[in-house]
A = this chain, B = another copy of it.
């Protein structure tokens, strides 16, 4: 059955697979000290224009978020995030499990606003009882957000300014970063992210890899003894090469960009199909995730013919659902989807 439920339905891009095949029997050092990981680091540093960056390869997004937040916060600090942020509601309490509170602010279409963050921090320090409260110690954003929306360069710069002023780091969760970078009209680039954020990760699992995320500390500012900390979190791969080889391929000859751009082209085609079927968009997004509001009866009938994701209840008779494209989506699949959407009406 046709499936648009997510962007992690297939294995990996062909060129990534080829790299795994090609390097398979080469003997390599363990725990991330291998030549493939080292080569991937060099390419990522170049792409970020961050020659001093510390780079670590991990296997999943929640793992990476937990690791970054718990190692960069002081014990008495929490992380500021949008109420719809992945760390706020969809990581099964992984942040609290590591001892920290998520300080949620109302998001606007999944985004935090610099002014709101600033006001929150100011009002924290103005509160006479703040010594009895959790200190704001970091700002977490996702780009694209959980709703597929994007920060503009100006918004990112404003968040950076607020963080600088209050001496706390800015962390960008880039689980779907490629799709954000290639979106129509996007003005945020990898070098800009590396300049504005204290730490961020480049998602692989949802952008062409079998598994893996590249965690970047652009100023060479990884917490001390970071390998030991990764191990302590149960997140250190003996065969670090497995992710390293994949990122080496993704950052060769602009592959990460090319496959992301393909997903965006497919998303534009998808939007057209959804529009033609007159399905109302829940919000506007320029990236690979599209959210539409379906009448529940229609949704049930559609479910039998095509895969998509439940997102949230809209009202008693309607539901918000997600259709996602990826590096693996074909134009033919979208054409077929377009027909199904209309036929099912």
Residues of A within 8 A of B (CB): 3, 6, 8-12, 14, 17, 20-21, 23-28, 30, 59-67, 70-71, 74-76, 78, 89-94, 96-97, 99-102, 123, 126-129, 131-135, 205-206, 210-211, 224-225, 227-229, 231-239, 241-242, 245, 307, 310, 312-313, 328
> Distance in Å from the Cβ of A203 to the closest Cβ of chain B?
10
Closest to A333 in B: B27
Q: Do A78 and B101 touch (CB < 8 A)?
A: no
Q: Which of A78, A91, A234 has the most CB of B within 10 A?
A: A234
Q: Do A211 and B242 touch (CB < 8 A)?
A: yes
Given contacts A78-B96, A135-B225, A242-B211, contact A91 B231 (CB under 8 A): yes
**Which of B6, B10, B102, B227 lies in contact with A26, CB distance below 8 A?**
B10
Contacts of A64 in B (CB 8 A): 234
Q: Which of A24, A97, A328 has the most CB of B within 10 A?
A: A97
**Which of B65, B133, B210, B232 lies in contact with A97, CB distance below 8 A?**
B232
Q: How many copies does the complex hold?
A: 4
The 9 closest A-B CB pairs, nearest first, are A63-B234, A11-B24, A92-B231, A9-B27, A93-B134, A128-B310, A96-B101, A92-B232, A66-B234
Q: Do A135 and B228 touch (CB < 8 A)?
A: yes
> Distance in Å from the Cβ of A169 to the closest Cβ of chain B?
16
> Distance in Å from the Cβ of A35 to the closest Cβ of chain B?
12
The distance in angstroms between the C-alpha atoms of A17 and B129, with both chains bound, is 31
Closest to A27 in B: B9
The distance in angstroms between the C-alpha atoms of A242 and B246, with both chains bound, is 13
Contacts of A89 in B (CB 8 A): 133
> Distance in Å from the Cβ of A253 to the closest Cβ of chain B?
20
> Distance in Å from the Cβ of A12 to the closest Cβ of chain B?
7
**Which of B94, B210, B232 lies in contact with A93, CB distance below 8 A?**
B232
The distance in angstroms between the C-alpha atoms of A65 and B313, with both chains bound, is 34
Contacts of A61 in B (CB 8 A): 238
The distance in angstroms between the C-alpha atoms of A131 and B3, with both chains bound, is 21
**Which of B24, B132, B236 lies in contact with A10, CB distance below 8 A?**
B24
Q: Do B101 and A232 touch (CB < 8 A)?
A: no
**Which of B10, B25, B60, B310 lies in contact with A27, CB distance below 8 A?**
B10
Closest to A86 in B: B132
The distance in angstroms between the C-alpha atoms of A77 and B65, with both chains bound, is 20
Q: Can you report 15 A-B residue pairs in the complex whose CB atoms are below 8 A from each other?
A: A10-B27, A10-B28, A11-B241, A60-B236, A74-B224, A75-B97, A76-B93, A91-B231, A92-B131, A92-B228, A92-B232, A101-B102, A129-B310, A131-B227, A233-B234
Given contacts A9-B27, A25-B328, A59-B237, contact A96 B100 (CB under 8 A): yes
Closest to A232 in B: B92
> Distance in Å from the Cβ of A90 to the closest Cβ of chain B?
5
> Distance in Å from the Cβ of A220 to the closest Cβ of chain B?
18
Q: Do B76 and A232 touch (CB < 8 A)?
A: yes
Q: Do B59 and A30 touch (CB < 8 A)?
A: no
Contacts of A123 in B (CB 8 A): 313
Contacts of A211 in B (CB 8 A): 59, 211, 237, 239, 242
> Distance in Å from the Cβ of A212 to the closest Cβ of chain B?
10
> Distance in Å from the Cβ of A77 to the closest Cβ of chain B?
8
